[in-house]
């Protein structure tokens, strides 16, 4: 594991953290009970198998 050689200033730490952003997951259309809905791609199979219920 990498170990820093010196302390990082508060300004640099906050600047680095501020640049990180989460991206929204890609949405794909899924037809459940005759209704097409947009759901996150990684949950598509769960909706198709009936493990998750789409919200009304």
CA distances from 38 to 24, 34, 50, 51, 54 (A): 13, 13, 15, 16, 9
Is this structure's pTM higher than 0.75?
no
C-alpha 54/C-alpha 26 separation (Å) is 17
Q: Coil, strand, or helix at residue 5?
A: coil
Residue pLDDT tens, the chain, 56 long: 788 888 889 888 888 777 777 888 999 999 988 889 999 999 999 998 989 887 75
pLDDT tens by residue, 25-34? 999 999 988 8
Give the per-residue pLDDT at 56: 59
Provide CB contacts within 8 A for 26, sequence distance 6+: 40, 41
């Amino acid at each position: 594991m990498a170990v820093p050689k010196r302390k990082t200033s508060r300004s640099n730490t906050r600047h680095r953290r501020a640049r990180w952003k989460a991206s929204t997951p890609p949405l794909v259309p899924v037809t459940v009970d005759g209704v097409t809905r947009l759901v996150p791609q990684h949950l598509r199979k769960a909706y198709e198998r009936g493990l998750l219920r789409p919200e009304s």
